[in-house]
Chains A and B, each alone.
Chain A
């Protein structure tokens, strides 16, 4: 299976809102209720941002939100802050009785100007 498709890069100014899309096929992300988003900063452990499409883990800022439409999931970050700069990855979890798979997106590099 190919990786999910994300824009390679995005940039915006502090205070603005951005959305990162994550597109796959009906057989992977389109067939999954389990889409999650992760934030990566160099040298640090990745951080869970959104799980199960639109849920925030405890303590995560409500500036982060997730949504899903057909075969595309989206992560929206509102009120951009400098510390939001980093790499963002979506992931889709699918399983059958005999097989499970986690498919990641190619990653989006977010620059806060």
Chain B
């Protein structure tokens, strides 16, 4: 059983944008949750990118990403999206979405590999 399914791997050029989606599978709902985005870069630790309130659409981003990240959701598709722009080489990472019912990330997606190349 997979509760949260993310979109497939992406390869982008520096300066471009990437959009990653995160969908609740049948039988799992995002309602009353925040959806967080976290990344794991090669040789680095986990890094919080930000979150979206699934109900209201309100967002909050980590300082490092403010100005070049956007998070949206489509209630009809039970899907949230993260768009990261002005991509740099060091944005190469596995990006995870996770549902956060309180102050912890409870159900995680399988991860989406984003590779930034020249």
Contacts and interface: CB of A to CB of B under 8 A. Distances in A.
B89 interface: no
B105 interface: yes
Interface of B: 4, 36, 38, 40, 45-48, 51, 60, 62, 96, 98, 102-106, 108-111
B45 A48 contact: no
A36 interface: yes
21 contacts: A36-B103, A38-B46, A45-B110, A46-B98, A46-B108, A48-B105, A48-B106, A52-B104, A91-B104, A91-B105, A93-B104, A99-B60, A100-B60, A101-B48, A102-B38, A103-B48, A104-B38, A104-B45, A104-B47, A106-B45, A107-B46
Contacts of B110: 44-45
B46 A51 contact: no
Most buried by A among B36, B40, B98, B104: B104
Given A36-B104, A36-B105, A51-B104, A45 B46 contact: no
A64 interface: no
